[in-house]
Amino acid sequence: MQNTGKRKTSGVVQVYVGKAGTRRENDYERVLVGFARSGELAPGTSAEIEVQCRLDPVFHWNGSSNHFDVDGGTYNIWVSQFEGDETKAETVEVSPISWSVRSKQG
């Protein structure tokens, strides 16, 4: 993030993800998965911002296997300062991910 203004400021970095190509009926085209605010930036300075992202906006429940799944395939990633700002877009290949949440009994 860079402060190109004449006063101290901070900013927000938002990360959006969406499945490219064919999507399931309930899949989002673009969904917020993480965001972070920068510290105060003096005029003309910049900072790297680390954003922790979550999978829950893109996973779905698979009732037949009792697992949460993230479909493999091509995903678009947008790094933005606000919704609709497509400052940087990347495309990545994701392997299928599946996990179970079971409690131990006994």
Residue 56 — pLDDT band, cuts 50, 70, 90? confident
Report if residue 5 sits inside a domain.
Answer: no
Report if residue 40 sits inside a domain.
Answer: yes
62-104 pLDDT, tens per residue?
A: 888 889 998 888 999 999 888 878 666 799 998 999 988 765 5
Report if residue 58 sits inside a domain.
Answer: yes
Report if residue 4 sits inside a domain.
Answer: no
Report if residue 50 sits inside a domain.
Answer: yes
Neighbour-count burial of 69, counting CB atoms closer than 10 A to its CB (0-12 exposed, 13-18 middle, 19+ buried): middle
Structural domain count, the chain: 1
Report if residue 1 sits inside a domain.
Answer: no
Domain of residue 32 covers 12-99
16-37 pLDDT, tens per residue?
A: 998 887 777 767 788 899 999 9
**pTM over cut 0.85:** no
Cα–Cα distance between 104 and 23 in angstroms, integer?
Answer: 34
Mean pLDDT of 43-67: 90
Report if residue 57 sits inside a domain.
Answer: yes
Ranges 41-45, 46-50, 61-65, 99-103: which has the least confidence = 99-103
**b/e 33-58 (16+ beta carbons within 10 angstroms → b):** bbbeebeebeeeeeeeeeeeeeeeeb
Which pLDDT belongs to residue 100? 87
Report if residue 67 sits inside a domain.
Answer: yes
105 pLDDT more than 60: no
CATH code: domain of residue 90: 2.60.40.10
45 pLDDT more than 80: yes
